[in-house]
Structure 1
Amino acid sequence: MPNIRTASELQRNMNAIYDLCESTKEPVYITRNGRESLVVMDAKAFDDAFDLRRRVLEHEMRVHDALMRSQEEVESGELVDFADIRREN
């Protein structure tokens, strides 16, 4: 369950919000007029999450590039049919 606090709580008791972020490593959602307005998060936890996101994106791009190269090989006729390979063996 997400940590939710009001903007008034943040103003009145910022140290408690700091402590909550630091101890849980989870984001704290700050609401204003009953709606989510900000997200406050421990800096190290944020950096770790952002780094993970970057690494996942890099992996996805490598997979995408490999798929595109494969598609180009199919379209140019560079691939050998699996049945042909089996017949050769």
Structure 2
Amino acid sequence: MPTIKSSTALRNDYSKISKYCHETGEPVYVTVNGEGDLTVMSIDAFEKRERALEIREKLLEAQLQKANGVPMLDFDEAMSELKALAHGKL
């Protein structure tokens, strides 16, 4: 169940809401006059969510390439390229 707070609560209880976001990693939905307005979350939670979205985007792109017949590397080839990249040889 999402945590919902009014903008007044955000102003008056900022420290408590900030602590909640940091401890749980969950967002808090802020309302103004009973209507949804903002989502507040810790920077760490936001960055984690952004990384997850980037990974999903890359996986979707790879799935589309495979579906469109783009040649893929097999596991051993991919590992060789990654090792070379890690050692500055690519």
User: What TM-score bracket applies, with the shorter chain setting the length?
Assistant: 0.7 to 0.9
Q: Which has the higher helix share?
A: 1
Structure 1: tracts of 5 or more residues without a match:
71-89
Aligned to 2:2: 2
* RMSD over equivalenced CA pairs, Å: 1.0
Deviations 1:25-60 (A, max 9, x none): 000000001011000001101101110111011011
* Structure-1 separation of matches of 2:40 and 2:60: 28
Q: Which runs of 4+ in 1 moved over 3 A?
A: none
Aligned to 2:36: 36
Larger radius of gyration between Structure 1 and Structure 2: 1
Q: TM-score, normalised by structure 2?
A: 0.74
Q: TM-score, normalised by structure 1?
A: 0.75
Aligned to 1:73: none
* Aligned counterparts, 1:47-86, within 5 A: 47-69=47-69
What is the identity percentage for the equivalent residue pairs of Structure 1 and Structure 2?
A: 27
Aligned to 1:14: 14
Q: How many residues are matched?
A: 70
* Structure-1 separation of matches of 2:51 and 2:42: 14
* Structure-1 separation of matches of 2:64 and 2:15: 45
Structure 2: tracts of 5 or more residues without a match:
71-90
